[in-house]
Amino acid sequence: MDNHPIEQHIPRLRRYARALVRDRYAADDLVQDTLERAWNKLHLWRQGSDMRAWLFTIMHNVFVNQARSRRQEVERSMEEMPVVAVRGHQGQELELLDMDRALQMLPPDHREVLLLVAVEELSYEETSQALGVPIGTVMSRLSRARERLRMLTSPQGMTSLKVVK
């Protein structure tokens, strides 16, 4: 028995969901809701189009709808995250924690674009379709997200104080 074409995209959906909601159980629920909607709407998928982009579009819509209905998005602070024992590669682990913290400081719309383009390797056009925004908006959000990440992760950005006169 062959795998269904949707199945091959589940790991990427999980990774994206986890980055969006920052909670493993909520991410699993988001993936489940996305897969359920995709399965029920499979007849709407256009043969020959990119199923991965279609699935990310569905996930984005499910995520937005859930955020609207809750009206509050709860993100766990760094203090609430479990302590991770770091052995051997402490520098790399700390860099990853710093990057994760910086990603969470981005506005959600910038974080979404950055994750889809940089992590999931969607094209600007696919990202535009998935998020339902023009390509120019994708490019400007990506540029702003990258610049903000550079600022947040640079030594000057982490320690700089604004001079008030």
User: 124-155, pLDDT tens digit by residue?
Assistant: 998 998 889 999 999 999 999 989 888 887 76
Question: What tens digit of pLDDT does each residue of 46-70 get?
Answer: 888 888 989 999 998 898 877 766 6
Report yes or no: 112 and 130 within 8 Å, Cβ to Cβ.
no
Q: State the Cα–Cα distance between residues 99 and 83, nearest whole angstrom.
A: 17
Residue 96 has a pLDDT of 62
Greatest mean pLDDT among 70-74, 82-86, 149-153 lies in 149-153
CATH number of 1-73: 1.10.1740.10
pLDDT band at 37 (very low <50, low <70, confident <90, very high): very high
- The Cα 50–Cα 22 span in angstroms is 26
Q: pTM to 2 decimals?
A: 0.57
Residue 93, token pair as written in the block: 């682990």
* Domains in the chain: boundaries: 1-73, 89-154
Say how far apart CA 70 and CA 85 lie, in whole Å.
34
- Residue-level pLDDT at 48: 80
| Under 8 Å between Cβ of 131 and 138 | yes
E strands present in 3-99: none
> Residue 157 in 3-state DSSP?
helix
d(CA 102, CA 111): 10
Q: Which two tokens stand for residue 77?
A: 């602070």
pLDDT at residue 142, rounded to an integer: 92
The answer to whether the CB of 9 falls within 8 A of the CB of 52 is yes
As a CATH number, domain 89-154 is: 1.10.10.10
Average pLDDT over residues 65-82: 53
